[in-house]
Amino acid sequence: DTGVSQDPRHKITKRGQNVTFRCDPISEHNRLYWYRQTLGQGPEFLTYFQNEAQLEKSRLLSDRFSAERPKGSFSTLEIQRTEQGDSAMYLCASSLAGTGANVLTFGAGSRLTVL
């Protein structure tokens, strides 16, 4: 296993377009998280899954954002009708439930630029 993979690494889009990011977690990890990181800030929590169930969504996740994790494997984060304020690094992380739950392994991130 090579860790948490994210695709694409960079995405440039025009305002109003839809974008989708994919995250492949470490295979044995049943928890998956999405964070957003803007310039000069630490990562901010967006949402989290345990297996296929989305258990929590941040208020940062507007109606234009949707995340899925079908079959508890990979996850997708879709942003509809992108706005310039959506420009950020979108980080995915995974962990094991239980005693290792708070030890997150992060991916390299997907950087979104909205023109």
Partner 1 sequence: AQTVTQSQPEMSVQEAETVTLSCTYDTSESNYYLFWYKQPPSRQMILVIRQEAYKQQNATENRFSVNFQKAAKSFSLKISDSQLGDTAMYFCAFIDAGAGSYQLTFGKGTKLSVIP
Residues that bind partner 1 (CB under 8 A): 3-4, 31, 33, 35, 40-45, 48, 55-56, 91, 101-109
Q: DSSP states of the chain as a string?
A: ----EEE-SEEEE-TT--EEEEEE--TT--EEEEEEE-TTS--EEEEEEETTEEEEE-TTS-TTEEEE-GGGS-EEEEE-S--GGG-EEEEEEEE-SSTTTT--EE---EEEEE-
Q: How far is the CB of 113 from partner 1 (least distance, A)?
A: 15
Q: Please identify, using beta-carbon distances, which residue of 12 and 17 lies nearer to partner 1.
A: 12
Q: Please identify, using beta-carbon distances, which residue of 57 and 80 lies nearer to partner 1.
A: 57
Q: Please identify, using beta-carbon distances, which residue of 71 and 103 lies nearer to partner 1.
A: 103
Q: How far is the CB of 42 from partner 1 (least distance, A)?
A: 3
